[in-house]
């Protein structure tokens, strides 16, 4: 393996060795928001190959709670929810042949498959003056239970 190939593989391994942090959607995954109207939003949480499905769902719920509070609402309900997994296979086409005397062996090749969890939610926000359904989530309760787990103290 050349030094350049080794450095590239090492950098990719370093970047991919961590579960998706709670962040805006980017290279390693994250959360994105699409407003559908003033009180209905679509939340998409995408994880990388090291992220659990529950972490992806937590990110979607945390973003929903943040969005709710930032826009002056107190509660939300998921109108629709979808959990899915995107599979990605990476092939290693690097082979190495070692010969000792009359015997040669070739190693390398193969592939690795990563499962990347997705959590999509469409949410409806409710304020203090709205009739709040009994199934609604409290924005402050969701935020206070998930933020310490996923947001660094410096980010608060």
Task: Produce one character per residue of 12-46: b if its CB has 16 or more CB atoms within 10 Å, e if not.
Answer: eeeeeeeebbbeeeeebbbbebeeeeebebebbbb
pLDDT band, residue 16 (cuts 50/70/90)? very low
Tokens describing residue 45: 């949480």
* Run of H or E residues at 32: strand 30-37
Cα-based angle 20, 111, 12 (whole degrees, multiple of 5): 40
Q: How far apart are the first and last CA of the chain?
A: 44
pLDDT tens-digit series, residues 123-134: 999 998 999 999
Number of domains into which the chain is organized: 1
pLDDT tens-digit series, residues 74-85: 999 999 999 888
Domain that holds residue 117: 3-155
């Amino acid at each position: 393996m050349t030094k350049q190939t080794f450095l590239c593989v090492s950098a990719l391994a370093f970047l991919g060795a961590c579960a998706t942090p709670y962040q805006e959607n980017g290279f390693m995954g994250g959360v994105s928001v699409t407003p559908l109207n003033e009180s209905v939003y679509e939340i998409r949480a995408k994880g990388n190959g090291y992220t659990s499905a529950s972490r992806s769902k937590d990110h979607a719920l945390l973003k929903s709670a943040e969005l709710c509070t930032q826009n002056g609402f107190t509660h939300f309900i998921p109108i629709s929810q979808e959990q899915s997994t995107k599979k990605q296979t990476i092939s290693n086409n690097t082979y190495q042949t070692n010969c000792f005397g009359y015997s040669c062996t070739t190693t390398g090749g193969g592939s690795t498959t990563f499962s990347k969890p997705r959590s999509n939610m469409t949410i409806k926000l409710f304020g203090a003056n709205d009739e709040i359904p009994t199934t609604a989530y409290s924005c402050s309760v969701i935020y206070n239970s998930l933020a310490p787990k996923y947001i660094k103290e410096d980010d608060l």
